[in-house]
Chain A
Amino acid sequence: MKLRDAGLFALVALLIVLTGVMQSWNLALQVLNMGLISAIMALGVNLQWGFAGLFNVGVMGFVALGGLAVAITAMPPVPEAWSAGGARVLLAMVVAGATIAGAVAIWRKRPKARGWLVAALIVVGFIFYRFLFDPARDAIEAVNPALQGNLGGLGIPVLLAWPIGGLLAAGAAWLIGKTALGLRSDYLAIATLGIAEIIIAIMKNEDWLARGVKNVIGIPSPLPSAIELQQGEGFAERAASWGADPVTASTIAVKLGYAGLFAAVLIILLVLMQLALNSPWGRMMRAIRDNETAAEAMGKNVTKRHLQIFVLGSAICGIAGAMMTTLDGQLTPGTYQPLRFTFLIWVMVIVGGSGNNYGAVLGGFLVWFLWVQVEPMGQWLIGTLTSGLPEGDLKQHLLGSAAYMRLFTMGVLMLIVLRFSPRGLIPER
């Protein structure tokens, strides 16, 4: 890392420390924690775009799948729901999978009238699937709907749910990559955009899976909660001896704990990514990115390598999504928005520097900091600008709209970087 890059990182660290000094340490640690998660997401996108030139705008979908994995593994199971319809739902899923696999197999074997055969198989399979699935879904959703109404999870430790989130996202990415990779870059973009929307639609509507828009709350935390800390032996005394209020001290302690966990994940991933970037594999990826035809002529299997890196990058996004849901302690499918979870990550990668892992990490921290802080800054700016205006509708409207300054600011930031420093703050080398 060059001195200039280290300086940029120091600058971001300073910004976070300043937040702590000027606003509150709780806020500063919130920014830090989400910054760590954002940096991991940016690493995932950087792997796909920066290393291999794959244009994935379905980040939101993979992040959401990571969150879903937490809800369906770390939550305690709901035995009544399982006995009401668990087996039947699983059978329906098997039928659906078998139908699709069968359709693909028939299509590949090229029998006569394969179009009709495949269509018939899909219709029959769909009817059978709905016959199995519909009653099971209703039965599951009828079990204690105010609190559960879903199958619940597997009750495994939440830290194990993080790699599972990565695996789930990787599985989805494999399916998507099998169908959509090999399309031209902007077709792939539109395909991934659509898949992300579908994943969110499924998570919002399939109540039996993770309660849909009713949200899964109370996801177990890998760390003791703030209240447990406060009640713990001698915590209040120790906090008092440092001159801190026990409530603030406990929330800060919990956030510090998360920061440690997230930082560990980020460092592991960053080391792996750096090793990958400088390995023969990384060089091959960049060669494919820069000239597919030449790489193919050298005997590289471009489609396979693309699939590989697409799956890996999506898995990283899934891990980050699982971490985020754990941090929030709840899964809220209604809050996944493409601007926040797909395009903002892209701003991070572009601003930070695509093709450079440090750049992506820096972009993650910096853009997340701005995303959080532009709103109060906008409020202050509008407040100052309108202070001379008489009280009235216009002033109220302007003050109320200040919150949307941040979308505008992110766009302007991205356009400025693209124009004047198209390789980002820490360019690829």
Chain B
Amino acid sequence: MDALNAIVAFSNFVMVPALAYGAQLALGALGVTLIYGILRFSNFAHGDTMAFGTMSVILFTWLFQGWGLSLGPLPTALLALPFGIALCAVLVLGTDRVVYRFYRAQKVKPVVLVIVSMGVMFVTNGLVRFIIGPDDQRFADGERFLISARTFKQMTGLDEGLAIKTGQALTLVIAVIAVALLFWFLNHTRTGKSMRAYSDNEDLALLSGINPEKVVMVTWLIVAALATVAGTLYGLDKSFKPFTYFQLLLPFFAAAIVGGLGSPLGAIVGGFVIAFSEVMITYAWKKVLGYLMPESLEPSGLVQLLSTDYKFAVSFVILLVVLLFRPTGLFRGKAV
């Protein structure tokens, strides 16, 4: 019984949150890695693109809620998601047209594009705060839990409850769908193949008649969709706050680099590596260990390696270790 309780406690506090967070990170890191692969720069504005997409979803959610539309137990945000993606796509295509295209034509060094993306970051950040304000927004409606801790306890008769939030379950389902779609697109469609060709060798791709502007446009569209989905799922699971989204930039980069910049599969693996290590290192293991160990050995402290405020430090240390010992990442990404 104790072992079962320990497993349930572990799932409730580590497994489920880390899986959901990992899926959100993976989606965000995919966006970073795609931009790196195709446009060849680290996009500092990605967190704010995500905030903008999520903000659009929230605005449409409010609109639909005002009309009385709802999806029953599912959050209304799902209905608003396509519209949010469309608005975010307009933003990124607009910035590409107004800002990035000029530098692409000049073939500037990647670091210049990174600095330019800092400018875009300021603009997007200001725009989001201007429209929706800097405060926390909760926009999850519908059923809050798939299984609440109490129902789980009643069903199983265990001491520990396992709560799964709708946002967490949705995150996994939608992330799987999104990733499957993305890989199908990259591997089986003409445009997807031309994107991979362009990422592998720009000159050869151009020589074989691939239209670079189209590749770039499709990339931005995919990035807008991924960023909006990732942001919305993160917001449904936790809450939406522009500053938090800006800060997610660091775990995104960590995930993308750990997996290997430019490698989509690496971004997904990296996302889960970062999420699991963040959650496991900042989790207080007292409860789980208490079930597993004999009473005499039970830990007196919290058995928490680091306080939760240091979760950025965890992703960062992993990032450093990977950079120092395997600079191309786990999946042999690019090292331009």
Binding site for B on A (CB under 8 A): 53, 55, 126, 134, 179-180, 183-187, 189-191, 193-195, 197-198, 201, 204-205, 337-339, 343, 346-347, 350, 397, 400-401, 404-412, 414-415, 418-419, 422
Contact = CB atoms under 8 A, between A and B. Distances in A.
Given A190-B257, A418-B115, A419-B102, A412 B319 contact: no
A201 B122 contact: no
B172 interface: no
Given A197-B312, A404-B134, A343 B122 contact: yes
Given A194-B316, A400-B133, A408 B250 contact: no
Contacts of A414: 118-119, 122
Contact of B126 (A55, A187, A193, A409): A409
Interface string B119-160: 111111111011101100000000000000000000000000
B116 A411 contact: no
| Majority secondary structure of chain A interface residues (helix, strand, loop or mixed) | helix
A408 B125 CA distance: 7
21 contacts: A179-B324, A180-B320, A189-B42, A190-B250, A190-B257, A193-B250, A193-B253, A194-B254, A194-B312, A194-B319, A194-B320, A195-B316, A339-B122, A339-B246, A343-B121, A343-B122, A401-B131, A406-B126, A412-B119, A412-B123, A415-B120
B260 to A, nearest CB: 12
A185 B126 contact: no
Interface of B: 41-42, 99, 102, 110-112, 114-116, 118-127, 129-131, 133-134, 243, 246-247, 249-250, 253-254, 257, 301, 305, 307, 309-310, 312-313, 315-316, 319-320, 323-324, 327, 335-336
| Majority secondary structure of chain B interface residues (helix, strand, loop or mixed) | helix
A186 B111 contact: yes
A204 B309 CA distance: 9
Contacts of B247: 197
Given A186-B111, A197-B250, A191 B320 contact: yes
B100 to A, nearest CB: 10
A404 B309 contact: no
A201 B309 contact: yes
A219 to B, nearest CB: 24
Nearest to A403: B129
B316 A411 contact: no
A180 B324 CA distance: 8
Given A204-B309, A408-B126, A415 B119 contact: yes
List of 5 A-B pairs having minimum Cβ-Cβ separation, nearest first: A411-B122, A408-B126, A407-B126, A411-B123, A194-B316
